[in-house]
A and B are shown apart, each in its own frame.
Chain A
Amino acid sequence: DAKTTQPNSMESNEEEPVHLPCNHSTISGTDYIHWYRQLPSQGPEYVIHGLTSNVNNRMASLAIAEDRKSSTLILHRATLRDAAVYYCMLRTGANNLFFGTGTRLTVIP
Chain B
Amino acid sequence: EAGVAQSPRYKIIEKRQSVAFWCNPISGHATLYWYQQILGQGPKLLIQFQNNGVVDDSQLPKDRFSAERLKGVDSTLKIQPAKLEDSAVYLCASSLEYSGVIDTQYFGPGTRLTVL
The answer to the question of A91 belonging to the interface, with a C-beta cut-off of 8 Å to chain B, is yes
Task: Give the interface size class of chain A.
Answer: 20 to 34
**A-B contacts at CB below 8 angstroms, number:** 55
- Known contacts A43-B110, A95-B56, A100-B42, A30 near B101 by CB under 8 Å: yes
B20 at the interface (CB under 8 A from A): no
A-B contact pairs, 14 of them (CB 8 A): A36-B105, A41-B109, A43-B93, A43-B108, A43-B110, A44-B43, A44-B107, A46-B106, A94-B48, A94-B100, A95-B48, A95-B55, A99-B43, A102-B42
A100 to B55, CA, bound (A): 22
- The answer to whether the Cβ of A68 comes within 8 Å of any Cβ in the partner chain is no
Nearest-neighbour CB distance to chain B for A80, whole angstroms, equals: 21
Which residues B52-101 have CB closer than 8 A to chain A?
Answer: 55-56, 91, 93, 98-101
Q: How many residues of B contact A (CB 8 A)?
A: 25
Residues of chain B lying within 8 A (CB to CB) of residue A93? 100-101
- Main secondary structure on A side of the interface with B: loop
B104 touches A32 (CB 8 A): no
Tell me, yes or no, whether A45 is within 8 Å of chain B by CB: yes
Task: Mark B residues whose CB is within 8 Å of A.
Answer: 4, 40-45, 48, 55-56, 91, 93, 98-110
> A32 — which chain B residues lie within 8 A by C-beta?
101-102
A49 to B102, CA, bound (A): 7
- Of all chain B residues, the one with the shortest Cβ separation from A4 is B42
Q: In the complex, what residues of B have CB within 8 A of residue A91's CB?
A: 101
| Whole-angstrom CA separation of A30 from B98 in the bound complex | 17
Contact call A45/B48, Cβ cutoff below 8 A: no
Residue of B nearest to A41 (CB): B109
Q: By the criterion CB–CB under 8 Å, are B48 and A101 in contact? A: no
A-chain residues with CB within 8 Å of residue B55 when the two chains form the complex: 94-95
| Contact of A99 with B101 at beta-carbon distance under 8 Å, contacts A41-B109, A43-B91, A46-B106 already known | no
What is the CB-to-nearest-CB distance from A90 to chain B, in angstroms, rounded to a whole number? 10
Smallest CB separation, B48 vs chain A (Å) = 5
Excluding A43-B109, A93-B100, 19 further A-B contacts by CB distance (< 8 Å) are A32-B101, A32-B102, A42-B110, A43-B93, A43-B107, A44-B43, A46-B106, A89-B42, A92-B101, A93-B101, A94-B98, A94-B99, A95-B56, A97-B45, A99-B44, A100-B42, A101-B40, A101-B41, A102-B42
